[in-house]
């Protein structure tokens, strides 16, 4: 194709091919990983981690103390151990209530033990648990939701 014959139609065809090829290449690349590497941060930084200062949550001062933060039930289970569970019932996503011995769903009666394990249906799956990391120096808790 000579330069004189490179008309608008050819330009559009060429542009379209470039866009399609670029899209294919981009879809094959883990963009998230690339962005993380470019920023020098780990891929886990893209998870929804919530960091709380325990000074702001007096209910979590003592072992056995608990509170709800957003859609997470958080309990201090040891001097430096915490349990964080989703408060969403695994049956149809109603909010479960903590009873002291476990959790009850007010919608259809599912129950869970203190660790979030199903003890009575119709729910079949345990409450989702979140990884927690306690920083004793800063008195903060990171909850990976």
The only residue of 86, 87, 91, 118 in contact with ligand FES, by rule CB under 6 A: 91
**β-strand partners of 73:** 68, 85
CA distances from 113 to 12, 33, 103 (A): 63, 37, 6
Residue 118 touches ligand FES, criterion: CB under 6 A? no
Of 70 and 109, nearer to ligand FES (C-beta) is 109
Give the DSSP letter string of 59-84.
Answer: GGSSTT-EEEETTEEEEE-SSS-EEE
Among 54, 75, 89, 127, binds ligand FES (CB under 6 A): 89
Least distance to ligand FES, CB of residue 35, Å: 37
Could you tell me the strand order of the sheet in which 97-98 lies? 97-98, 102-104, 111-113, 118-120
Contact between 128 and ligand FES by CB under 6 A: the answer reads no
Taking the complex as a whole, the smallest distance from the CB of residue 8 to ligand FES amounts, in Å, to 59
Which residues are near ligand FES by CB under 6 A? 89, 91-92, 94, 105, 107-110, 122-123
């Amino acid at each position: 194709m000579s330069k004189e014959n490179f008309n608008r139609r050819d330009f559009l065809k060429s542009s379209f091919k470039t866009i399609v090829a670029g899209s294919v290449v981009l879809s094959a690349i883990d963009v998230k990983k690339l962005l993380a590497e470019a920023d020098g941060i780990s891929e886990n930084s893209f998870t929804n981690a919530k960091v709380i200062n325990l000074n702001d949550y007096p209910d979590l001062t003592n072992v056995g103390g608990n509170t709800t933060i957003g859609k997470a039930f958080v309990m201090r289970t040891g001097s430096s151990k915490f349990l964080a569970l989703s408060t969403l019932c695994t049956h149809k996503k109603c909010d479960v209530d903590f009873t002291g011995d476990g959790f009850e769903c007010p919608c259809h009666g599912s129950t869970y033990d203190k660790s979030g394990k199903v003890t009575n249906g119709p729910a079949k799956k345990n409450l989702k648990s979140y990884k927690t990391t306690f920083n004793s120096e800063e008195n903060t808790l990171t909850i990976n939701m």
